[in-house]
Amino acid sequence: MSRRVFAMCLTAASMLATNAFCQSFLSQYKGLPYRDTRYQGGPQKIPGRVLCAYYDLGGEGVAYHDTDPQNHGSGELNPADGTYLNEFRIHEGVDTSYTKFDRKPDSIDDNPFDKIVPPRDLPYVGWTEPGEWFNITVDAAREGTYDAGFLYTSNRGGTISIDVNEKEATGPLQVPTTYDPADPVAWRQWHHWNLASSFFKIRLSKGKNILTVHILTGGNMNLAYFDFKQD
Ligand SMILES: [Ca+2]
Ligand SMILES: [Ca+2]
């Protein structure tokens, strides 16, 4: 066998191995696409908007890892009052809240220090710490590379990364800080929303893929959504 043919065989073998690895991960994964009384859309569609707060069902160690089992948003910052938004995923470890408009005396998420005004009543993942992660089952319309915009806040900067089917896909992604010393309200540094366009690109197979969002460094970020479009 010539060296070139041998190299081609090795490449083919490693592609087969990679494919087999993805298939075995997907067949063994116990998490399920998020659903509740309002959202019953199944795996989130790509191209399209993928909400972080709709991370998978399956609990700690399967669908996510969080630093503690409390949800510091639902039921804590947002008191349990029977409403959908205040009790959103209240018994899960991932910490979630939602964008609040028209609040007094200080505006919260519709504030003058937003780089972009986010959608109202949008659930998001907050209270993020290094080492935390969550999975999102998505459904890609076709095989190919997709470009993602990212709606977030980042009080102190930080890095995240994305895996596709348990394989690292992006490496560390620097999240630009949204800290603004001009804001006189200290706690509002957690609410300066920004849209990072073309934040990363990933390659997906047609159909079901599992995205894993890792908080690598920094924390203190609020993660709202990724807008995926075909690259
Ligand atoms: Ca928690
Ligand atoms: Ca957390």
The residues, ordered by sequence, that sit 6+ positions from 184 with a Cβ below 8 Å of its Cβ are none
Give 139: exposed, middle or buried? Use CB within 10 Å, 0-12, 13-18, 19+. middle
| CA 62–ligand 1 middle distance (angstroms) | 15
Q: What is the full per-residue pLDDT of the chain (231 aa) written as tens digits? A: 555 555 555 566 666 665 666 678 899 999 999 999 999 999 999 999 999 999 999 999 999 999 999 999 999 999 999 999 999 999 999 999 999 999 999 999 999 999 999 999 999 999 999 999 999 999 999 999 999 999 999 999 999 999 999 999 999 999 999 999 999 999 999 999 999 999 999 999 999 999 999 999 998 999 999 999 999
| CA 222–ligand 1 middle distance (angstroms) | 13
Q: How far is residue 26's CA from residue 209's CA, in Å, rounded to a whole number?
A: 8
| CA 114–ligand 2 middle distance (angstroms) | 23
| CA 66–ligand 1 middle distance (angstroms) | 5
Q: Is the peptide bond before 105 cis (omega within 30 degrees of 0)?
A: yes
Q: How far is residue 135's CA from residue 162's CA, in Å, rounded to a whole number?
A: 10
What is the reported pLDDT for 4?
59
Domains identified in the chain and CATH numbers: 31-230 (2.60.120.260)
DSSP of 27-80: HH---B----SS----SEEESEEEEGGGPPBS-BTTTEE-SSSS-STBTTTB--
| CA 20–ligand 1 middle distance (angstroms) | 34
Q: How far is residue 145's CA from residue 161's CA, in Å, rounded to a whole number?
A: 17
What is the reported pLDDT for 226?
98
Global confidence as pTM? 0.91
| CA 73–ligand 2 middle distance (angstroms) | 10
| CA 186–ligand 2 middle distance (angstroms) | 20
| CA 14–ligand 2 middle distance (angstroms) | 36
| CA 71–ligand 1 middle distance (angstroms) | 5
Q: Cα 138 to chain center, whole Å?
A: 11
Nearest ligand by distance to the CA of 70: 1
Nearest ligand by distance to the CA of 71: 1
Residue 54, φ and ψ in degrees, nearest 5: -95, 35
What is the reported pLDDT for 6?
56
What is the reported pLDDT for 15?
60
Q: How far is residue 189's CA from residue 114's CA, in Å, rounded to a whole number?
A: 10
| CA 130–ligand 2 middle distance (angstroms) | 9
Q: Quick one: tokens of 173?
A: 């992604």
Comparing CA positions, the residue from 121, 109, 161, 139 lying closest to residue 38 is 121
Nearest ligand by distance to the CA of 72: 1
| CA 75–ligand 2 middle distance (angstroms) | 14
